[in-house]
Amino acid sequence: MLEVSELVAAYGPVRALDGVDLSVERGSITAVLGVNGAGKTTLLRAISGLLPPKAGAIRLGGRDITREQPEDLVRLGIAHVPEGRGVIVELTVEENLRLGGLWRRDRAWLRTGLARMFELFPPLAQRRHQRAETLSGGERQMLAIGRALMSRPELLLLDEPSLGLAPRTAAQIVATLRTLREDTGLTLLLVEQNAATALSVADRAVVLNLGRKVADDDAARLAADDRVRRAYLEG
């Protein structure tokens, strides 16, 4: 469903992506791995329209979306959960979720979507009227994912969902991603510095290093590849 070809993205003179190809199948979970500065965040920002690429192409379901604006990409079915969570801390849990659903202009979905998010993330149901600033790191991550899901995406881009979380919380969140994929057929692109966490849930994995793709394989095979692990994942 997503095809990235020869993608180049830069911040001034710094080439953060230098000709990256990526193919993501509908309904799959693809992990994007690599050490700090490999270009993982930049790849997500380019796909969600936040950073216009210098060259290359991005296609969603065959449609060229390389030059689309972020808000149009949300309507086309791409939701992005940025690193650092991106919830609005002054608003309550429910208000944050409703904001995510505004894109849909669909009152019936707003109701069923909210109920669905509270079912997926029970801690959010208990805290539905609390301001987001009172949430723990794990709950904020759940809220950020819930908010993105309220836009009913076909493709969810997740930037380091396990960052800064206790291993148990990270594992719970990852397990929820798997449930989501199984229940809804959602396609996921999951950026992680923690390769073990990501590989435990992904079908495929790509490894970036200095803006280039250095590995692209079945997740289980990549997990067993000592050479790739030593060279690119233990930074």
**Residue 38 contacts ligand ATP per CB under 6 A:** yes
Per the listing, tokens 């919830």 go with 87
Q: Running DSSP on this structure, what letter comes out for residue 104?
A: G
Angle at 127 between CA 125 and CA 130, to 5 degrees: 140
Q: Minimum CB separation from ligand ATP for residue 126, in Å?
A: 32
Site for ligand ATP in 167-196 (CB under 6 A): 193
Stretch that binds ligand ATP, among 37-45, 88-96, 169-177, 226-234 (CB under 6 A): 37-45
Q: With CA atoms as reference, report the closest residue to 186 among 144, 157, 219, 143.
A: 157
Stretch that binds ligand ATP, among 9-17, 58-66, 130-138, 194-202 (CB under 6 A): 9-17
Among positive and negative, which fits the CA dihedral 74, 77, 82, 88? positive
Q: Minimum CB separation from ligand ATP for residue 119, in Å?
A: 31
**Residue 36 contacts ligand ATP per CB under 6 A:** yes
**C-alpha to C-alpha distance for 210 and 42, rounded to whole angstroms:** 11
**Is 189 within 8 Å of 156 (Cβ atoms)?**
yes
**Residue 53 contacts ligand ATP per CB under 6 A:** no
Stretch that binds ligand ATP, among 10-18, 108-116, 141-149, 216-224 (CB under 6 A): 10-18
Q: Name the residues that contact ligand ATP, by CB under 6 A.
A: 11, 14, 16, 34, 36-42, 193
